[in-house]
Structure 1
Amino acid sequence: MAERLAALGIQVSESQILAPPAAACAWLQAEGITDIALFAPEATAADFAGMTLLPADAEQGAGAVVVGDLAQRWNFQTLNRAFRLLVSRPAPRLLALGMTRYWHAPAGLQLDTGPFVAALQYAAGIEPVVLGKPAPAFFDAAVAAVGSSPGQTLMMGDDIRGDVAGAQRAGLKAALVRTGKFRPTDLHGDIRPDAVLDSVGDLPAWWQKHER
């Protein structure tokens, strides 16, 4: 993510980016859970250094089943293995690295983590611990990281539910941008953004207008 931002001319360090895996690691450490079954991209595994990652064919022995965005790697066997882990005894915890429904991939809209977590929740009867959007705790952590408060913070995003609704539930103002996965129908539902902008580039003018 830092490399992608740098390519856009935005220089940030990795430590300035708040991502769900870091929040998940902190939660697991606080709960004393070390044995995890990780269903996430290989690059994400590096964020769980210090944890014991179960083998790819394990169907029991997990203290937590951690679910991220596997994208094309999801199939019936993989989803069913996660289910078998969750119904084994003693029952592990189910951690979701976000509950976003879909995202805008280069080839078009693509299912994200949320639908797979919802399937596992329904099948295993286990309530997930959400450590990403739209959980209020995730937005709280972001606000704390920049030394602000919810009422003084504006969130910008292209997801009417994961970004806008999640931020508003955490007490932040939320602006919806008409880019990425934005759809015109987003403006006709029960969620009302505090602002709607054509792009992030419109933020300075909007900010100056409302600051006055």
Structure 2
Amino acid sequence: MKRIPELIMLDLDGTLYVGKQPIPGAIECLRQLRKRGIQLRFLTNTTTKPQDELVAQLRVMGFSLEEDELISAPVGAKLELLSLQQKLQRPVRIWPVVADSIKQDFSEFFWDEYTPDYVVLGDIGDAWDITLINRLFNVMHSGAELIALHKNRFWQTEEGLKADIGFFVAGLEYVCNKEAQVMGKPNRGFFKRVLNSAGVDTMDALMVGDDIDSDVGGAQQMGIRGCLVRTGKYRAAYAEQSPVRPNYIVDSIAGLIELVQ
């Protein structure tokens, strides 16, 4: 690596850990990076846990971080809604179709399931059914806009790969002929907030993740270098077919130390 990054942005699930188990060498890797004076930010599209719970989960696994070093998609959505509310100069009406555990993150907005300004869509697990899909279709067809906390295609679980909410986001975009505002990776605004939080330019940052589309591709569209790890959701065949070409590829997060030598 010719230019050592001042900031390294790290995906969580599949990159630092899988399930509740840290990737071998991950904790020591981050310790070494901090020792070299490199700033770290922890990025996640996870929408089933609030910020404080995610930080606590990482600490229990042995990772060391400050709360403001973790930036999640729900936090990005909340900031966006506050900005929209300021522009409209009135309370924003939202329908938060999200996990019960993060609904508290949107408590300061007015909730309206029938005539919302925005549908906020996140992970809701097995709560999806045709009745809900048709309700969402009708409020969006009547004027509501869609804010998607992310648009991931699939994710890695302890049981294997599973389809993610990108399936439902893309379907709603198609039937409503609207484009969702995506809050998490690979949204440009999301990466911009991360860069601003560290006071670093794109050329001095590096994104590391197991998702070639959202992590690597999302970073590269901002001019940020992207490093793909061969853990988590990584699949060789999928990566080879992707138009995204990572700047670097390592077997796991542990290989990052040698990369930034």
Same fold (TM over 0.5): yes
Q: Does 1:146 align with 2:201?
A: no
SS at match of 1:18: strand
Q: Does 1:22 align with 2:80?
A: no
> Deviation per CA, 1:69-111, whole angstroms, max 9, x where unpaired?
12222121222221111112xx121101111111111221112
Distance 1:187 1:114 in 2: 18
The percent identity for this pair of structures is 32
> Deviation per CA, 1:156-188, whole angstroms, max 9, x where unpaired?
000011111111001100000011100011341
| 1:38-77 matches, cutoff 5 A | 38-54=96-112, 58=113, 60-77=114-131
Distance 1:95 1:124 in 2: 13
Contact 1:71 1:112 in 2 (8 A): no
Contact 1:121 1:128 in 2 (8 A): yes
Deviates more, 1:67-76 or 1:199-208: 67-76
Once the two structures are TM-superposed, the CA of residue 113 in structure 1 deviates from its matched residue by: 2.0
Q: Does 1:183 align with 2:235?
A: yes
Whose RCO is larger (CA < 8 A, sep 6+)?
2
Aligned length, in residue pairs: 202
SS at match of 1:94: strand
Cα RMSD for the two superposed structures = 1.4
Once the two structures are TM-superposed, the CA of residue 7 in structure 1 deviates from its matched residue by: 2.2
Gaps of 5+ in 2: 1-53, 86-90
Residue matched to 2:36: none
Once the two structures are TM-superposed, the CA of residue 150 in structure 1 deviates from its matched residue by: 0.9
Contact 1:102 1:109 in 2 (8 A): yes
SS at match of 1:185: helix
> Deviation per CA, 1:48-69, whole angstroms, max 9, x where unpaired?
1201223xxx3x2101001111
Distance 2:159 2:138 in 1: 32
SS at match of 2:167: helix
Residues 101 and 187 of structure 1: is their aligned pair in 2 closer, same or farther, counting only changes over 3 Å? closer
**Partner residue of 2:141 out of 64, 69, 87:** 87
Q: Does 1:31 align with 2:84?
A: yes
Distance 2:239 2:162 in 1: 21
Structure 1 runs of 4+ aligned residues shifted over 6 Å read: none
Residue matched to 2:16: none
Q: TM-score, normalised by structure 2?
A: 0.74
| 1:155-170 matches, cutoff 5 A | 155-170=207-222
Q: TM-score, normalised by structure 1?
A: 0.90
Residue matched to 2:88: none
Residues 12 and 53 of structure 1: is their aligned pair in 2 closer, same or farther, counting only changes over 3 Å? farther
